Amino acid sequence: GEQVEQRPPHLSVREGDSAFITCTYTDPNSYYFFWYKQEPGASLQLLMKVFSSTEINEGQGFTVLLNKKDKRLSLNLTAAHPGDSAAYFCAVSASSGQKLVFGQGTILKVYL
Amino acid sequence: EAAVTQSPRSKVAVTGGKVTLSCHQTNNHDYMYWYRQDTGHGLRLIHYSYVADSTEKGDIPDGYKASRPSQENFSLILELASLSQTAVYFCASGTGGSQDTQYFGPGTRLLVL
């Protein structure tokens, strides 16, 4: 079945710097890709949903890159600020089903 | 705004005891899911359901049962709790399908002693 590998597990950046998180997946039939943010003690909140034919998606303060050839999904938080400190999870769903497979998560800390 | 609630929010259980975690959604979603989260791991799917009175096994169903008595409610049951089931449990709801966005509850922190 689908396997998702997320790196790095921990990331510490200075305020204003970029934070880059990557997920690789194995199933070439994967179709939708998700990034979730989990603040300490809280539940998961959707950051962005990416459709397989779209390569670059920009949100507020972040960019999501999808490379289908390499089966790689990336999240780039530009100009990180302390409010970005949280755990980030990628998740992948296949075209055939409704199950989500999650990456292991990245704990991001943004310091002053 | 999507609404998924869970109870209890935290629980301490004894090994061998029975634990029931409850989830309620007001989104009118057909699909509901139970995940567990362990340190160093992402969320892993335990059970899910797409219709009342029916449940399906996820990726790690061993040691867990699920019950979906109505569209709004979905329970996770640990008949004989074990130390290895200490984790945070999340419930989610969604409309189903590969493009579905799942909406998560606040989580239940379970400690089995």
Helix (H, G, I), strand (E, B) or coil at A82: helix
Confidence of residue B96 (pLDDT cuts 50, 70, 90): confident
- With 80 as the cut, is the pLDDT of residue B40 above it? no
Q: Which residue has tokens 């989990």?
A: A38
Per-residue confidence (pLDDT) for residue A3, from 0 to 100: 87
pLDDT in tens, B22-35: 999 999 999 999 99
The answer on pLDDT for B70 being more than 70 is yes
B53 contacts: CB under 8 Å, gap ≥ 6: B68, B69
DSSP summary character for residue B92: E
* Closest alpha carbon to A48 in A38, A63, A31: A63
Contact B108, B88 (CB under 8 A): yes
Does residue A39 contact residue A29 with C-beta atoms inside 8 Å?
A: no
Quick: pLDDT tens for B72-89.
Answer: 999 999 999 999 999 999
Spatial neighbors of B103 by CB under 8 A, at least 6 apart, are: B2, B3, B4, B25, B27, B29, B92, B93, B94
User: Rounded distance, CA B74 to CA B94, Å?
Assistant: 13
pLDDT at A97: 58
pLDDT at B3 over 60: yes
Which residue from B minimizes the CA distance to A31?
B98
- B42–A4 CB contact, under 8 Å: yes
Cα R_g (chain A), whole angstroms: 13
Q: Which among B31, B41, B104 has the least Cβ separation from residue A43? A: B104
* Chain-centre distance for alpha carbon B99: 21
For the ranges A23-37, B53-67, B84-98, the maximum mean pLDDT occurs at B53-67
Residue A99 tokens read as 């199950």
What is residue A40's predicted lDDT score, i.e. its pLDDT?
86
pLDDT of residue B80: 97
* Pairwise CA distance, residues A100 & A93, whole Å: 5
Q: Which of B88, B34, B90, B38 is nearest to B66 (CA)?
A: B34
> Half-sphere exposure (CA, 13 Å, Cβ side) for B88?
19
* The pLDDT of residue B98: 65
What is the pLDDT of chain B when averaged over all its residues?
93
Residue B40: name the closest of A81, A112, A89 by CA.
Answer: A89
Q: Can the peptide bond before residue A82 be classed as cis, meaning omega within 30 degrees of 0?
A: no
What is the pLDDT at residue B39? 80
Q: Does A87 touch chain B (CB under 8 A)?
A: no
pLDDT below 50 — which residues of chain A? Answer: none
Of the candidates A43, A98, A105, which has its C-beta nearest B107's C-beta?
A: A43
Structure tokens at B67: 């019950």
* The pLDDT of residue A51: 78
Three-class secondary structure of residue B82 per DSSP: coil
Q: Do B42 and A104 touch (CB under 8 A)?
A: yes
